[in-house]
Amino acid sequence: MSLAISLAYLVAAVLFILGLRQLSSPRGARRGNQTAAVGMVIALGATIPLLHFTTAGLVIVLIGIAIGAPIGALTARRVHMTAMPQMVAIFNGVGGGAAALVAVTELLDQGMHPAFALAFPSVLSIVIGGVSFAGSVVAFSKLQGLLTGTPMTYPGQQVVNGLIALAIIALAVAVLTAGSVPAFFVALLILALVLGVAFVLPIGGADMPVVISLLNAFTGLAVAASGFVLNNFALIVAGTLVGASGTLLTKLMSDAMGRSLANVLFGAFGQVVAGPAGVAGAEGKSVRSGSPEDVGTMLAYARKVIIVPGYGLAVAQAQHAARELADELERRGVDVEYAIHPVAGRMPGHMNVLLAEANVPYEQLKEMDEINDEFKFTDVALVVGANDVVNPAARNTPGSPIYGMPILNADEAKNIVFMKRSMRPGFAGIDNELLYDPKTIMLFGDAKDSLTKLVAAVKAV
């Protein structure tokens, strides 16, 4: 590695670290992303001029970039804010796939007995990159609705997954000791893909953010492993940074859901949902359903209203309608705030992004710890398309799958209005006793539609 490249990689690494740091604070976040992008340009700019391209090599690099860049840019530009999580999943998956292919190519070129220092990271990169690619595709499909979001389980699934993992280890050992035969590491790649699919299938849609974050960390590690294969310092440092920060981020996310990572990944949740205990509790209890006019009057004469947005608001694209309602209420002197659960939406922070898109003032967005004590002084808690994050079962029912998850204390408000499309349970598949609370009024229908009607009703008061 020449001096110029080394220095350029050092600059790039520093920019990545600075970028990550800026990304961790709201003020500098956007600049942080740009800083990291500059680092990327520098790393690429330093590498390319010093490579010895074959004609074919130059052509495929240009074609690859000419195909990949518009695909990446256009899909990223066009995607709806609500579809953001699956977009991140797919961008992550292709990175893992690229890392695996880089390692496959290097192994091909090294003959039967590559040095251990090269073969070992190659095998890691193939396995981790392959799992990340296939797992991300499944995560994408679940969030996009191509596959059902409910966990897919069958008897003996853990055993089958375990056997796949064992086969991978056996093949890896074979590549490292018996010799690097193409058939072996191609089989390794295929098994890694199978494991990626098998690993994500039993995990429910609500847990996908955690899984995507984990796969993101995986890809980081696969890239770092490829860096060891190619003796490339930039890949090692950038990949490891992502691997480490991604792992921490994964832990923070599962903490926000009040669960351990192992619990998210290894199906305890899935089994409960699959069991009969799920939705059965609904019979024999009655709900109170109201008209937009009733609710509008109640809101107009309230002193304090807290809006609890959930994924239902996001899918209905109702964030603008919610802001209109809030504006209308504020004009009448009602104090309006939004209570944001850490996992509202499909990813931590997802709801903030959506509401910011609708120009909701930042000061009105309150995080859970900040606002939970205010519910008892609140006249109306308006729950828009959220369910599990206000389910008191998380506090009161030790047997419940969400028991222990921190929730918003919407049940302490004087009145609760639930805007839902139906009585269907939330993403976790569990019944919510708050729906049957005497203080609760149900407002059935599409969230955007209902909010628009509420705006009209409040104006009419």
Partner 1 sequence: MSSELLNEFTFFVLAIFVGIEVISKVPTILHTPLMSGTNAIHGIILVGAIVIAASANDPLHIVLGLVAVTLATINVVGGFVVTDRMLEMFRARRPTRAAPEVPGERLRQSGSAK
SS3 category, 309: strand
d(Cα 208, Cα 89) in Å, to the nearest integer? 9
Catalytic residue chosen out of the listed positions 388, 411, 437, 449: 388
232-240 LR contacts (CB < 8 Å, sep 24+): 233/1, 233/6, 233/9, 233/13, 234/9, 234/12, 234/13, 234/43, 234/47, 237/9, 237/13, 237/16, 238/12, 238/13, 238/16, 238/43
Cβ nearer to partner 1, comparing 212 with 428: 212
238 lines the binding site for partner 1 (CB under 8 A): yes
Residue 150 CB coordination number (10 Å): 16
Question: Which of 4, 7, 117, 166 is in the footprint of partner 1 by CB under 8 A?
Answer: 117
Question: Which of 11, 174, 244, 277 is in the footprint of partner 1 by CB under 8 A?
Answer: 244
User: Maximum distance among all alpha carbons in the chain?
Assistant: 82
Which of the residues 120 through 139 are near partner 1 (CB under 8 A)? Answer: none
Closest CA to 406 of 432, 424, 388, 379: 388
Which of the residues 197 through 236 are near partner 1 (CB under 8 A)? Answer: 212-213, 216, 219-220, 222-224, 226-228, 230-236
Token pair of 207 as six digits? 């847990």
* Strands in 331-458 per DSSP E: 335-340, 365-367, 380-384, 415-420, 440-444
187 lines the binding site for partner 1 (CB under 8 A): no
Token pair of 396 as six digits? 């009161």
- In whole angstroms, how close is the CB of 146 to partner 1 at the nearest point? 19
Backbone angles phi, psi at 111, to 5 degrees: 75, -165
301 lines the binding site for partner 1 (CB under 8 A): no
Question: Which of 153, 174, 261, 320 is in the footprint of partner 1 by CB under 8 A?
Answer: 320
Cβ nearer to partner 1, comparing 344 with 381: 344
Q: How far apart are the first and last CA of the chain?
A: 74
User: DSSP character for 436?
Assistant: G
Query: How many residues touch partner 1 (CB under 8 A)?
Result: 119
d(Cα 329, Cα 336) in Å, to the nearest integer? 7
Question: Which of 160, 166, 170, 252 is in the footprint of partner 1 by CB under 8 A?
Answer: 252
Closest CA to 453 of 312, 290, 321: 321
* Strands in 207-344 per DSSP E: 304-309, 335-340
Site string for partner 1, 371-410 (x = CB under 8 A): ----------------------------------------
Which of the residues 321 through 350 are near partner 1 (CB under 8 A)? Answer: 327, 330, 340, 342, 347-350
Annotated active-site residue 388? The verdict is: yes
Question: Which of 127, 200, 253, 417 is in the footprint of partner 1 by CB under 8 A?
Answer: 253
- In whole angstroms, how close is the CB of 379 to partner 1 at the nearest point? 21
- In whole angstroms, how close is the CB of 394 to partner 1 at the nearest point? 18
Residue 316 CB coordination number (10 Å): 22
d(Cα 234, Cα 451) in Å, to the nearest integer? 50
DSSP string for residues in 188-219: HHHHHHHHHHHHHTTS-GGGHHHHHHHHHHHH
- In whole angstroms, how close is the CB of 300 to partner 1 at the nearest point? 18
Which of the residues 256 through 275 are near partner 1 (CB under 8 A)? Answer: 256
User: DSSP character for 429?
Assistant: -
- In whole angstroms, how close is the CB of 116 to partner 1 at the nearest point? 10
Question: Which of 92, 254, 387, 450 is in the footprint of partner 1 by CB under 8 A?
Answer: 92
84 lines the binding site for partner 1 (CB under 8 A): yes
d(Cα 371, Cα 306) in Å, to the nearest integer? 9
37 lines the binding site for partner 1 (CB under 8 A): yes
Cβ nearer to partner 1, comparing 343 with 430: 343
Token pair of 43 as six digits? 């790393």
Cβ nearer to partner 1, comparing 17 with 167: 17
- In whole angstroms, how close is the CB of 351 to partner 1 at the nearest point? 9
Binding segment toward partner 1, per CB under 8 A, in 42-50, 151-159, 188-196, 389-397: 42-50
173 lines the binding site for partner 1 (CB under 8 A): no
- By annotation, the residues acting in catalysis are 388
